[in-house]
Amino acid sequence: MEAWWRNSIGYIIYPAAYKDANGDGIGDLKGIIEKLDYLHELGIDLLWICPIFASPMKDNGYDVSDYLHVNPLFGSDEDLLTLLREAHLRGIRVLLDFAMNHTSDQHEWFVKAKEDPSSEERSYYIIKKGRRDEKGNLLPPNNWGSFFSTSAWERMPGSEDEFYLHVFAPSMPDTDWSNPKLRERYYQIARHYVDLGVDGFRMDAISHLAKNPTFEDSPLQGGKGGYVLDPSEFSNRPELLGYLKEFREKGVNENTLLVGEVGGCVQPAQARLFSERGRGPINLVFNFDTVWNNGAYGSIDKKDEEIKTDVISLKNNFMRWYENAATCDLPLYWCNHDHPRVLSQYGSVNYRAESAKMLVTTLLFLYGTPFIYQGDEIGMSNVTYDKVEDFLNDEANVDALKSMRSEGRDEETILRFWRRTNRINARTPMQWDKTSYAGFSKVAPKVKVNDNYKEGVNVQEQMEDPYSILNYFQYAISFRKNAIYNDIVNNGRLEIVDYNHPDVFAYLHRGSSTIMVISNFRPYQTYFTFNYEIGDIVLHNYDGVLLKDHVFTLRPFECYLLKIR
């Protein structure tokens, strides 16, 4: 029997910004429960909910202080049970986001580790003695740098000469997966949630679970203060596969969906080991090859005009995975809570409806299980904050700001860069209607709402407009879920048409019938040679078809889903 997620449409919820039911300005589980009918109507049948476990929220829930209880900011354990029950009643499955690479420094394990050097909990973390320089000053054990700060090591409180490892923020100590006792603790937690009825996990940052066991210096040079961010020291190391296999065997069932976030380092060959159908320990590998194909990543010195979608590279990246990993199930997504809004990346606010519709059409009919990020279905776009301080409610930005300032970047440059790249862009409140705060909350939300909710970028108004982005999404999803289309997408051969076209992303699937998507990724008119015969126009985001002498004239962001004769 085919795995259930091959027929699912996923939707990513960032709970703090979805719907505030209890009026404290922060989204919560009851808010999600309120919106289950909406999601069901949209055609969603799989939710990935970003972390909801107890947390001091230094990294917005990815810093867990208690895995066994719901963060009171989001509700109660009872609310989670209600959410699971109500979602299941509507045929919606639920994945929880499980950050196991690290805990919060406020987790009971770490507290015990600090208090008692002989405790078992101390062995759950990676704690090493520091080094001394010629003058006898204490230095971290090696030169590894971290993602959210300079050195990946922090002094172990209460110890004279030890440090603990944190590949993210200092408040998030890494757990030691080479310790079977630690691993068993995580399997117990997973089993607890599977027993409650959770359908799967999005496994956060799993590429980092195994570290280079030598803990020697990275051979790379440079970095701030001599600390280099060298992900090869702690990403996708050989031991990882064994950990994932054990997690599958001891933590979850065969039918539990495991989605692993592997960052940008895993390539298809390794992904096959992780997720080959019927063999790999996990099911979907999230890698970010198709996310930043417009030159925005690290683009601090570029002008906005220099940011342009590289459509050929996008095609290459999707196809590299399809050609080399089609023995795996693959996820399809444009972005998640760690990225800017796709509409502002590959689409355009000047063509909001056209580009939002084009993007979802392009995505849905490629190969894999689609995941829509909350708000994309109404065309939400990046925020236009007017000062850098507005971005500081994310721990990851605090250090980044210091370092950009110390490199001499002025505020305007930083603002320009963050407006187009920062992950805060994806974390503004969901826009439900045109009442105050976009109907997200009755009180001023902790995170500012994007003002464009007053200009039609909200659910309520789009529900009432048959030509809205929302209604288009619903219609497009209904086709993607149709058994015939689903079979064509999953099992029909995928081919790119006119690979070298710099502006148009066109592909077809040859299955029980042939379907073709043609998408103009530009805010201007382009042309596309078409040597087929149209059987049916299934989806189209403009009125009227401009096709003459085998050439399509494609208007800004115009797209088609066609049946080919």
- Looking at residue 563, its amino acid is K
Furthest CA-CA distance within the chain: 79
Q: Which of 95, 50, 104, 103 is nearest to 337 (CA)?
A: 50
CB of 99 to ligand BGC, least distance (A): 5
Between 45 and 59, name the residue whose CB sits nearer to ligand BGC. Answer: 59
CB of 219 to ligand BGC, least distance (A): 25
Residue 284 sits in the site that holds ligand BGC (CB under 6 A): no
What are the tokens at 326?
A: 């089609």
Size of the site for ligand BGC (CB under 6 A): 9
What are the tokens at 325?
A: 């990993």
CB of 173 to ligand BGC, least distance (A): 12
Residue 204 known to be catalytic? yes
CB of 223 to ligand BGC, least distance (A): 20
Measure the CA–CA gap between 506 and 516, rounded to whole angstroms.
7
| Among 20, 79, 162, 261, the one annotated catalytic | 261
Which residue has its beta carbon closest to ligand BGC?
62
Candidate list 204, 233, 329, 461; residue touching ligand BGC; CB under 6 A: 204
Between 230 and 261, name the residue whose CB sits nearer to ligand BGC. Answer: 261
| Among 59, 79, 204, 377, the one annotated catalytic | 204
Residue 377 sits in the site that holds ligand BGC (CB under 6 A): no
Between 396 and 561, name the residue whose CB sits nearer to ligand BGC. Answer: 396
Residue 59 sits in the site that holds ligand BGC (CB under 6 A): yes
CB of 108 to ligand BGC, least distance (A): 19
Residues 6+ apart with CB under 8 A from 470: 42, 377, 378, 459, 462, 463
Compute φ and ψ for 160, nearest 5 degrees. -75, -35
53-54 vs 153-155, strand pairing mode: unpaired
Long-range contacts of 414-420 (CB under 8 A, 24+ apart): 414/300, 414/388, 415/385, 415/386, 415/387, 415/388, 416/304, 417/299, 417/300, 418/385, 418/388, 418/391, 419/382, 419/383, 419/384, 419/385, 420/296, 420/299, 420/304, 420/307, 420/340, 420/344, 420/345, 420/382
**x-or-dash string of contact with ligand BGC, 326-365, rule CB under 6 A:** -----------xx---------------------------
Q: Which of 397, 428, 437, 394 is nearest to 415 (CA)?
A: 397
CB of 383 to ligand BGC, least distance (A): 17
276 burial (CB, 10 Å; 0-12 / 13-18 / 19+) is middle
Between 272 and 337, name the residue whose CB sits nearer to ligand BGC. Answer: 337
Give the 3-state secondary structure of 116-145.
Answer: CCCCHHHHHECEEECEECCCCCEECCCCEE
Between 217 and 394, name the residue whose CB sits nearer to ligand BGC. Answer: 394
Measure the CA–CA gap between 188 and 199, rounded to whole angstroms.
16
Residue 62 sits in the site that holds ligand BGC (CB under 6 A): yes
DSSP state of 448: P
Measure the CA–CA gap between 142 and 262, rounded to whole angstroms.
24
Cα angle vertex 408, ends 230, 299, to 5°?
Answer: 55
CB of 337 to ligand BGC, least distance (A): 6
CB of 539 to ligand BGC, least distance (A): 31
In sequence order, what are the beta bridge partners of 76? Answer: none
What are the tokens at 42?
A: 């949209």
Residue 433 sits in the site that holds ligand BGC (CB under 6 A): no
Q: Give first-to-last CA distance, the chain, whole Å.
A: 30
**x-or-dash string of contact with ligand BGC, 88-127, rule CB under 6 A:** -----------x----------------------------
Distance of CA 536 to the CA centre of its chain: 34
Residue 261 sits in the site that holds ligand BGC (CB under 6 A): yes
Candidate list 39, 44, 205, 554; residue touching ligand BGC; CB under 6 A: 205
CB of 423 to ligand BGC, least distance (A): 7
Measure the CA–CA gap between 527 and 545, rounded to whole angstroms.
13
Residue 162 known to be catalytic? no
Between 99 and 561, name the residue whose CB sits nearer to ligand BGC. Answer: 99
Between 246 and 338, name the residue whose CB sits nearer to ligand BGC. Answer: 338
| Residues in 449-508 that interact with ligand BGC by CB under 6 A | none
Measure the CA–CA gap between 400 and 148, rounded to whole angstroms.
7
**Residue found by looking up tokens 């008119």 in the block:** 525
Q: Which of 463, 484, 472 is nearest to 540 (CA)?
A: 472
**Residue found by looking up tokens 């505020």 in the block:** 411
| Residues in 120-179 that interact with ligand BGC by CB under 6 A | 168
Residue 57 sits in the site that holds ligand BGC (CB under 6 A): no
CB of 399 to ligand BGC, least distance (A): 13
CB of 168 to ligand BGC, least distance (A): 5
**Residue found by looking up tokens 């039609």 in the block:** 456
The residues of the shown chain that bind ligand BGC, judged by CB under 6 A, are: 59, 62, 99, 168, 204-205, 261, 337-338
**Could you give the residue numbers annotated as active site?**
204, 261
